[in-house]
Amino acid sequence: MSTITKLASVRPLSIVRSPTLCPQFNLHRSIMQSTIRHTSSPASGSRDPWPRQDLIPYDGTYPLGWKAGGLATGVKKKAETKDLTMVVSPHHPATASAVFTVNAFAAAPVQVSREIVQTHGRGAVEGLVVNSGCANACTGERGVKDAWAMAKAVDAALGGSTTTTTGEGARTLVMSTGVIGQHLQMDKITKGIDELTNVIADTHEAWLGAAEGIMTTDTFPKLRSQEFKTAKGAYRMAGWSKGAGMIHPNMATMLSSVFTDAAITKECLDKATRYAADRSFNAISIDGDTSTNDTFAVLANGAASDIKISDHNSPEFVEFQENLTNFAAELAKLIVRDGEGATKFVEIQVEGARTFTEAKTVASTIATSPLVKTAIYGKDANWGRIVCAVGYSGVPIKPEKVNLHVGGGDQELLHLFKDGAPFDVNEEKAAKILENEDILVKVNLGLGNEGAKMYTCDFSHGYISINADYRS
Catalytic residues: 253
Neighbours of 234 (CB within 10 A): 18
Distance CA 439, CA 431 (A): 12
Distance CA 335, CA 177 (A): 15
Distance CA 78, CA 88 (A): 26
**Size (the chain), residues:** 472
Q: What region does 358 belong to: left with phi over 0, alpha with psi -120 to 50, or beta?
A: alpha
- Let me know if 358 is exposed, middle or buried by CB neighbors in 10 A (0-12, 13-18, 19+): buried
How far separated are the first and last CA of the chain, in Å rounded? Answer: 40
Q: Residue 408: enclosing H or E segment and its boundaries?
A: strand 403-408
User: Of 349, 451, 353, 447, which Cα lies nearest the Cα of 398?
Assistant: 447
- Going from the C-alpha of 294 to that of each of 137, 331, 458, the distances in angstroms are 11, 15, 22
Q: Are the CB atoms for 255 and 293 separated by under 8 Å?
A: yes
User: Of 149, 141, 136, which Cα lies nearest the Cα of 184?
Assistant: 136
